[in-house]
Amino acid sequence: QARFVSYGREYQPSQRVRKRRHGFLARMKSRGGRKIIHNRLLKGRKYLSH
């Protein structure tokens, strides 16, 4: 049983985790990830991924 609930501390920045989960190479590994990159290209995004 949790007595003290605190929200808002979920994001603990880490370059390694960010790159591994949302990086360009991570996107290119799966078909769905490639689709994301493709859609962002079509939309004209300056940054396709991390």
List, for residues 2-19, the tens digit of each pLDDT value. Answer: 788 888 999 999 999 999
Q: Which CATH number fits domain 15-50: 1.10.287.3980, 3.40.50.720, 3.40.50.300, 3.40.718.10?
A: 1.10.287.3980
Q: Which class for 11: exposed (0-12), middle (13-18), buried (19 or more C-beta within 10 A)?
A: exposed
pLDDT, average across residues 23-42? 98
Which of 15, 31, 32, 11 has the alpha carbon at shortest distance from 23?
Answer: 15
Whether 1 shows a pLDDT value over 90: the answer reads: no
